Structure formats: structure tokens, C-alpha cells
Amino acid sequence: MSNHSLSTFTAEITAALKKAGKDFGAHSVFSPSGSAMWAYCSGSLVPNLFKPDSASEDAAYGTVGHELAEQWLKTGEKPSHRIGEVVSISEGERLFEVEITDEMMSFVEEYVDWCIYLPGVHFVETRVDFSDLTPLKKQSGTADHCACEIGHMTITDLKMGKGVQVFAKDNTQAVLYAYGFFKKYDELFDFQTITIRIGQPRLGHFDVWEITRAELLRWAAWLKERAYAAWCEDATRTPGEKQCRWCKIKQDCAAHAVLIDRLVDGAFDDLESPITSDDMSDVQSKLSDGTFGFEPIRSNKLTLDQKTKLIVYRPMIESWFSEIYADLESRCLRGETVPGYKVVEGRSNRVFTNAESAVDTLEFLGLPDDVIRPRGMITPAQAEAALLKVGYRKKQLPDLLHSVVRKPPGKPSMVPDSDSRPAIKLASDTAFDNLDETL
């Protein structure tokens, strides 16, 4: 796109957003948190700008968690005095009341402990600029934590959600933060390696990915290419798992329906192919069954009539995916190689080894009987929450309860290779190793 057409397009979008009541300059258009969306699906960026910001209790909880972490890391002191405080958070058009609890503070503590002892100069909640990668000025994001030392940078991103596990590898949001620090401080620190970390304390998930200086610059070049591809008229839509997860227009997106159509048709070779206007027009014609006069030009929305026809297939498609998953998992569990997947020990809940011993230990630690057995024996997690309230620290709890708590093995389950949990060796892998010795 020429500079003239780029400036014209920017002016048109600015005017359209203003007319829609959206402030073009309030947030970065190329937000790091939405980078997986616009980097992998160019056509998603502009339509999402016109959608209202999503609002949820989890987002509000995360905002408060980040605030506590920032206060703790900047002062070096645990903000214990804030436990019990109720914080009002505006998310979109909704107002949420979030109570700061002992449990929330303990999750924040895990993240703080992960960051505070890193070597180097520490930066907390720092605004970093990456405008040189985009067609717009003043594009930036706020990095949760960065530790810089000669030759090395460690970027840590706090995720307070527990619904979706987030991984460090190939994380475009963290890469943009790293690039922002690289651009600003490389002359001082001469970064040669970059460690990217994602901390999700509510899932017990702390993931790490290390890249070189050259790899960071290759990522930056790719993101620049993707940013310019997204900031243009009729940008290509490429639906997929990463980009569609947080997209606010996917329910209306005809390209998304094309992907499902290809899946249903078994057109697996076409899943990575670009989706054209003709493809979207074709699927809309199928949904309309020839009874709806549809104008495909510049309109990528599914109509109400088309949605009602598409939703009929939901049980069938969900059942199909469930059966495929079950088949692949059973193959994994039998020891077959399933490309891109592995078997790990599933998650499990801790239990008390002996209820009577646990009661004795908890009473000794200062918990009254009505807390230990309000209607039945409390769980180890509930016991920890109660102990936090009477003054014990999160890091003390494992030692205090280790003699009365055990964690049974989790049920083996299939996960992507990108999962940080180690693969387990199945019994079937060694079942025939000593066959000759038994004859």
C-alpha cells in the first residue's frame, strides 16, 4: 500500500470510529494482547476495533491482581493491609466489585517470588513502544515485569485467569514486550538472549521459553509484515484456533463458517488456504439455501437466518470433534505415536492421608474444630486458605502440611507437545522388554 493510500485508509478508519463513538487514540490499535489475532488473521483487526471491549469478572479479577503485584514489586513489601478491601473495577460498560482475599494475595505472591529474585535491573508495569513495526504512530503496550542484565533480558507476563492455559513459546504478546525493551535498552545491555515467561498462578502454570537476539529480530520482522497486512482494505481473513479464540466478531464471521464447512466436507488440504470473498459467498449461499438475496461485496457477516441454519450442526460437529479426540487419546494411551501430541499425568486434587492425623495437625496449627469440620472434613486447599487467614505465609504451607497431605497420580491424558508437563512412560512401552527372560 502506498503512503498516500495508507494515510487515506487511516483517515477513513479514524472518521468511521469517531462516528461510532470509539476513541481512536485511547488504546493502541495493534495491542500486544490482541496480537495473536491480528498477526494470524489480518482481516480481524479493523472489524474488532468497532466492537465494544469485553467485560467479565475474570478480567476484573486480573486487573486487581496486577495492581497488587505492581504495588508489591515496586515497594518490596507485601500489601497485606489490603486483604478484605473491595475494589470497584469498570470493564466495558459493567462495574465489578472484587474482594482482595488471602487466596488472591497468595497467587500474587507466587508471581512476585518468581520475579523479585531475578538478577539485573527490574522494570515493573513499563510502557514499551513498538511503533516501528506498525503503520501507525504511538503503538505500545505495558509489560508486567522485565529484568535486564548485560547480555540477557527476562520478560515475565502475569496471567490471573484460569480458563485457558497460556504458553510462553511463540507468544506474540510477550515478543512485542521484549522487542520494546530491546529497542530501548539494547545499547546499554547488549542483549544476546531473551527469556520469555508466562506465570499463571491460579493454574500452577509457570512456563519458560528462551530465544536468541537473532530470533527476536526475525519475530519482529514477521510481526511488522503482519501488522501492515492487517492495516488495509479487504485484509484477508484466516480463521484458526489462536486467532479466533478472543476475536469479538467470530460469531458473525463468514470466513469462520468457511473453515467449518471445509472441516465438515473433509477438505483438509484447504484448511491452511486463504479464504476469499468467493469462498465466503459460497458458504453463505449454502446457509441461505438459495432463498436469501445476499450481497457478498464488503459484507462478511452472517445473517440471523444463516446463523439459525448453522447452529443446527453444533451437536454434530461437537460430537465429531469429541469422537476424534477420544480416538486420538486412546491411541496415545496405547503407546501409538500421535504427531504433535503426548501423554502426561493429568491434574489431580490433593487429599489428606489420614483424617484424624490431619485434624490433630490443623488443631496444633491453630485452627478451631468448626473451621476444620464445618459440615465434614475440609480439603487441603480449604485448610491452606484458613491457615493464611490466621497468619501463616504461602511458602510455609507445604512444609507444615506435608506429613498429612498427599497428591495422588493424575489420570493420564493427551495434550499438545507444547504443554510444559513432561511426557510419561506408559506401561505398554516396556511391556515386552523382558519377555525373553520370562520364558
pLDDT digits (tens, 9 = 90+) for 270-281: 656 677 777 777
Residue 46 lies in a domain: no
Question: In 3D, which of 266, 182, 166 has the Cα closest to residue 216?
Answer: 182
Do residues 65 and 183 both lie within one domain? yes
**What's the number of domains the chain is made of?**
4
Secondary structure letter of residue 236 according to DSSP: P
Mean pLDDT of 199-204: 94
Q: Is the pLDDT of residue 438 over 60?
A: no
Residue 36 lies in a domain: no
Q: Are 297 and 277 in contact (CB under 8 A)?
A: yes
Dist. CA 252–CA 301, nearest whole Å: 5
Which three cell numbers, joined as nine digits, stand for 94?
459493567
Higher pLDDT, 246 or 375: 246
Residue 65's CB is within 10 A of a number of other CB atoms, namely 23
Residue 223 lies in a domain: yes
User: What is the reported pLDDT for 273?
Assistant: 67
Do residues 87 and 136 both lie within one domain? yes
User: What is the reported pLDDT for 272?
Assistant: 64
Do residues 159 and 108 both lie within one domain? yes
| pLDDT-based confidence at residue 327 (cuts at 50, 70, 90) | confident
Question: In 3D, which of 228, 285, 230, 281 has the Cα closest to residue 255?
Answer: 281
Q: Are 168 and 174 in contact (CB under 8 A)?
A: yes
Averaged confidence pLDDT in the chain:
84
Residue 370 lies in a domain: yes
Do residues 65 and 130 both lie within one domain? yes
Highest mean pLDDT among 206-220, 330-344, 354-368: 206-220
Do residues 156 and 286 both lie within one domain? no
Do residues 146 and 207 both lie within one domain? yes
What distances in angstroms separate CA 406 from CA 355, 358, 366, 369, 373, one per listed residue?
12, 11, 21, 22, 19
User: What is the reported pLDDT for 181?
Assistant: 97
Residue 234 lies in a domain: no
**Pick from 291, 312, 333: which residue ends a domain?**
312
Do residues 155 and 222 both lie within one domain? yes
Angle between helices 57-75 and 102-116 (to 10 degrees): 50
**Pick from 170, 194, 228: which residue ends a domain?**
228
Do residues 137 and 207 both lie within one domain? yes
Q: Is the pLDDT of residue 404 over 80?
A: yes
53-111 residue pLDDT tens? 777 888 899 999 999 999 999 999 999 999 999 999 887 677 889 999 989 999 999 99
**Pick from 312, 330, 362: which residue ends a domain?**
312
Do residues 281 and 325 both lie within one domain? no
Lowest-pLDDT range of 131-140, 285-294, 307-316? 285-294
Do residues 70 and 207 both lie within one domain? yes
Q: Are 413 and 346 in contact (CB under 8 A)?
A: yes
Residue 20 lies in a domain: no
pTM across the whole model: 0.72
Question: In 3D, which of 123, 160, 119 has the Cα closest to residue 144?
Answer: 123
Do residues 163 and 223 both lie within one domain? yes
Do residues 171 and 210 both lie within one domain? yes
Dist. CA 295–CA 2, nearest whole Å: 29
Residue 39 lies in a domain: no
Residue 222 lies in a domain: yes
User: What is the reported pLDDT for 276?
Assistant: 75
Mean pLDDT of 236-258: 82
User: What is the reported pLDDT for 213?
Assistant: 98
- The C-alpha cell 493420564 sits at 412
129-186 residue pLDDT tens? 999 999 999 999 999 999 999 999 999 999 999 888 899 999 999 999 999 999 999 9
Residue 426's domain comprises 318-347+410-434
Secondary structure letter of residue 326 according to DSSP: H
The H-or-E segment that residue 376 falls in is none
Handedness of CA 29, 33, 37, 38 (dihedral sign): positive
Higher pLDDT, 24 or 18: 18
